[in-house]
Chains A and B, each alone.
Chain A
């Protein structure tokens, strides 16, 4: 009886991996617990252990082969006397439990891929300094931090696992090696303490970049962010500013459930004294992070874990920046406006393609980029042109960024509206764990299409 060894999923967001090294060879006898291979994921290189026992009959990939999908057969072990044949091309079916609900939901992998449409917008393509090479969002963030740290030695980074571990999501990879442990500091798991410390350092003139492993953990430190960082300039009559960037992944990743999947965009956008930024592509991540690091105010920089692997062209000029407070018209259109930000930009783009194909609706997509200060001018101008508005975001519905936009638009462009504004948000419940429920919780392309139809009075 032979056993297939499959490419394992080693992180919640991993869809494929690279086979960096085999630790076994054909003919070896492996026991459960033996190390068999080194796999490089989107986050780290990890060793994989055997779970079954037998003789290695075949290794189906060579060392160094990249982008092997999760659940692909990578090796066969079993009884050497038994004859086995496996086609490398044959994809392995998803597990039975998932098959049962296949009719209702797409598979996990397809779902994640559908999230990401990485065609650059027309505006970006006009950028004459656009790189020919595409890089990931995590690389764009990393490069920008490194560039700013080279320019100004008052810039330093601290957070959990940012140094030796190279970042929980590899966003700070290589920074320790280049800048040393005085400027790249691993902190204990002590958000309240190290956030207060960084705020104090910023009051005294340094320019900290503070990484929250995820923004979920920023709740431990929210008093220091709001009561200290955001308010002190005001309370000191303009004497003491706080040039700090709080950054890290925000919102849902993949099946990490209620305590690790919260979207904080509207929470922080409510606070005067903070600026809130949510990039959606490697290109704007670079330009916006540079503006954030050079800004004299406290910045909440909301990244997205699923977008870390998103590839796209960037502007490699070390002075290239995108102004805070300016939205990007990602796609022009005349029939309705979709205002969105962060990962929902990708879903909105997919919805816009289908709206055109299936309903001949030409949607304009506004990527907010900055949530506070909000670019109301761009939103209002668009609504005055299209007369219809939907907002799309991952946050809970009550008091969301879309709620404020709906308020502004009804106040300042009431006469231009041909239909009520519709908000597309996550479900008004804590994030569930189950794959099927998670998909129901998050805004999907169909939800956006339904909202667009509704504001266009299409049945």
Chain B
């Protein structure tokens, strides 16, 4: 496994915290009517994307679902501009035309943000195809929700990726519910990571509440893919604390279940490790907390003060 430096621990903690604070603020802005439409929060799942982040090259590509805010933050994108997209303003990553579910940053190899369940899977496979076609050593990380694992095009993509040995790492974020339907009510066979077996794609299941487990699995899988062996599947067991979207009261699960997961909160796990290893003191952690809160507050302020797109923007970007 990748040897973690002291700075890595701080980086993990900061990123996970930044995602959490960002999402809490987004929820607040949504409640205030500043953010419209659909808004899917990542709270509880932070260890997944941050764990993967620790193992990647910045020239690797990434494509994900509509639950994408955390992914963008982990990619190192500016929370101000992410929030400005949520508020539909001209400084947003998609100039206010994409919204929560459709955000992109080509210069950072972040290819969305896709609103159609499963659609990002062939697309990510195609981005991996391009890496191979161009003779690059990079890989494409393609995130898949558990709900999409019952969608036909996912298996078409698996077949193509295995057939053509494409450098794509599939990461199933199994947060237990596709909208309000639990995985066991949607999937015949609960081991989603085994669903590549018929294509010869190796898979493995990982505890997604623990960032160290995610790093270990992602490191191994990333190497396998980068060495030209074809695709690999990681199923990360995680949990979203909030409902599917802002309008979901999450009545389909019990409070006990939620509380149970909160006992293994991914951010608390990293914090405990930092203190145990004496990487930082309580005061230093407190400073990170304060700075993060401040950064996100500023992002919210920026996002609510950024102008709406000009009316003339309605007709731009239809064709290049």
Contact = CB atoms under 8 A, between A and B. Distances in A.
Whether chain B is bound by chain A comes out as: yes
A201 B123 CA distance: 7
Given A193-B160, A235-B102, A237-B93, A296 B320 contact: yes
B217 interface: no
Given A235-B97, A238-B95, A205 B130 contact: yes
A237 B98 contact: yes
A228 B119 contact: yes
B232 interface: no
Interface residues of A, number: 40
A199 interface: yes
A190 B199 CA distance: 15
A176 to B, nearest CB: 15
A234 B155 CA distance: 28
B126 A196 contact: yes
A233 interface: yes
Interface in A146-193: 156, 182, 185, 187-188, 190, 192-193
Interface in B55-99: 61, 63, 92-98
A334 B233 CA distance: 66
B92 to A, nearest CB: 7
A200 B98 CA distance: 18
B116 A223 contact: yes
Contacts of B155: 193
Contact of B124 (A195, A200, A205): A200
B106 A240 contact: yes
Given A192-B152, A239-B105, A200 B316 contact: no
Contacts of B318: 233-234, 272-273
Q: Which of B92, B122, B318 has the most CB of A within 10 A?
A: B122
A200 B120 CA distance: 8
B193 interface: no
Interface in B129-161: 129-131, 133, 152-153, 155-157, 159-160
B119 A236 contact: no
A198 B124 CA distance: 10
Nearest to B106: A239
B22 to A, nearest CB: 20
A199 B125 CA distance: 10
Contacts of A296: 320
A206 interface: yes
Nearest to B315: A272
A123 to B, nearest CB: 27
B114 interface: yes
A224 interface: yes
Contact of B102 (A192, A236, A273): A236
Given A196-B119, A197-B126, A273 B319 contact: yes
A297 B319 contact: yes
A237 B153 contact: no
A194 B156 contact: yes
Interface of A: 156, 182, 185, 187-188, 190, 192-206, 223-224, 227-228, 232-241, 272-273, 275, 296-297
24 contacts: A196-B126, A197-B126, A200-B111, A200-B122, A200-B125, A200-B127, A201-B127, A201-B129, A201-B130, A203-B126, A204-B131, A227-B119, A228-B116, A228-B123, A232-B112, A235-B94, A235-B113, A236-B102, A236-B106, A236-B112, A237-B94, A238-B95, A239-B104, A272-B318
